Amino acid sequence: MSTLENVKVFEFPKVSDPRGNLTFIEEAVNVPFEIKRVFYIYDIPGGVTRGGHGHKINKSVLVAITGSMDLHLSDGYKEIVITLNRANKGVLIPEGVWVSMQNFSSGTILLAMNSEYYDEEEYIRDFAEFKRFVKTYNPEP
Ligand code: TYD
């Protein structure tokens, strides 16, 4: 089971010319898994918190295509905060890592590339249950 040490921040390639910037993301090259599902979050009202879950199996890479937000990540023991604020910055969130998304700027579009199809059964949406789940794999450090 992953811990916060398995969270990775990526810089995706950026091709810039006088017409603007272009970033590309290739499965298994820039994202370390086969991408089965993509979703995006947009029209986000000010002040909301999204996420608030961990996964038993699914891995995600998140990119703020426009705008910014803070990702509060926890492995059940420690918490870190990563800010996504550039269209070519990605964060790998492996299974076993809790994510809460906060402080969205106006107009943010958050893209998530995922290793699994949507399956509510592999979500853990209760933090106490999440802690019990990860503890069985990662005993107290
Ligand atoms: P939710 O997990 O609450 O979103 P977030 O992680 O941004 O807080 O998902 C919102 C709803 O959308 C919930 O009813 C589940 C549904 N959903 C799908 O049907 N398919 C998907 O791929 C995702 C990510 C969510």
The reply to whether ligand 1 has any atom less than 6 angstroms from the CB of 118 is yes
pLDDT digits (tens, 9 = 90+) for 62-95: 999 999 999 999 999 999 999 999 999 999 999 9
Q: Which residues contact 131 (CB under 8 A, 6 or more apart)?
A: 76
Please write the tens of the pLDDT for every residue from 41-56.
999 999 999 999 999 9
Q: Say if ligand 1 is within 6 A of residue 54 CB.
A: no
Q: Is the pLDDT of residue 122 over 90?
A: yes
User: SS3 for 121?
Assistant: helix
DSSP 96: T
CATH architecture of residue range(s) 4-137? Sandwich (2.60)
Asked whether the predicted pLDDT for residue 141 surpasses 70, the reply is: no
- How high does pLDDT run on average in the chain? 96
Q: What is the mean pLDDT of residues 10-39?
A: 96
Q: Does 55 qualify as catalytic in the annotation?
A: no
Tokens of 66: 């426009």
